Amino acid sequence: MSDPTELSRFFGVRNDTDPTRFTKADLVEGHNIDLDETGRITSRAGTLSGLSGKAHSLWSKDADASYGYGVLNGMLGMLDDSFGFTPIVAVTGRVRYVEIAGKVYWSSPAEHGVLDKAVNSPWGMTVPPTPAATSTFGDLAAGTYLYTTTYVRDNGSESGASNMGSISIAQNSGIVLQPLTLPAGVRGLNVYISEVNGEETYLRGALRSGETGRYTTLPSPSVTPRTRYCGPPPKGRLVGYYKGCAYVAEGNFLYHSRPFEYDLFDRVSGYLGFDSPVSLFAPVSDGVFIGTESETLFLAGDGPETFVPRVVVSRGVVYGTEFRIPQQYAGEGPQGDVWMWMSPAGMCMGWDGGQYKNLTATRFLFPQSFQAGASLMKVKDATPQFVVSLF
**How many percent of the chain have pLDDT more than 70?**
98
Q: Would you say 361 and 347 are in contact if contact means Cβ atoms under 8 Å apart?
A: no
Task: Report the distance separating Cα 176 and Cα 214, nearest Å.
Answer: 5
Q: Would you say 186 and 153 are in contact if contact means Cβ atoms under 8 Å apart?
A: yes
State the maximum Cα–Cα separation within the chain, in Å, rounded to a whole number: 115
Measured torsion, CA atoms of residues 319, 238, 163, 200, in degrees rounded to the nearest 10: -110
Task: Specify the length of the chain in residues.
Answer: 391
C-alpha distances (whole Å) from 379 to each of 37, 48, 59, 383 are 12, 17, 17, 5
Q: Residue 173: CB partners within 8 Å, gap ≥ 6?
A: 135, 136, 137, 138, 140, 142
Is the model more confident about 76 or about 24?
76
On the CB side of 234, CA atoms within 13 Å amount to 19
Q: What is the pLDDT of residue 375?
A: 93
**Displacement of CA 232 from its chain's centroid (Å):** 13
Query: Per-residue DSSP letters for 297-332?
Result: EEEESSSTTT-EEEEEES----BT--EEE-GGGS-S
* 235 pLDDT more than 60: yes
The dihedral through the CA atoms of 327, 306, 234, 182 has a sign that is positive
Per-residue pLDDT reduced to its tens digit, 113-168? 999 999 999 999 999 999 999 999 999 999 999 999 999 998 889 999 999 999 99
Q: Is 114 exposed, middle or buried (0-12, 13-18, 19+ CB in 10 A)?
A: middle
Is the model more confident about 2 or about 332?
332
Task: Report the distance separating Cα 356 and Cα 306, nearest Å.
Answer: 21
The dihedral through the CA atoms of 104, 105, 108, 111 has a sign that is positive
* 1 pLDDT more than 60: no
pTM beyond 0.75: the answer is yes
C-alpha distances (whole Å) from 286 to each of 144, 291, 300, 331 are 49, 17, 6, 20
Per-residue pLDDT reduced to its tens digit, 12-25? 787 777 787 787 78
5 pLDDT tier (thresholds 50, 70, 90): low
The dihedral through the CA atoms of 374, 335, 292, 125 has a sign that is positive
Q: What is the pLDDT of residue 362?
A: 79
C-alpha distances (whole Å) from 225 to each of 15, 175, 195, 231, 325 are 61, 19, 14, 13, 42
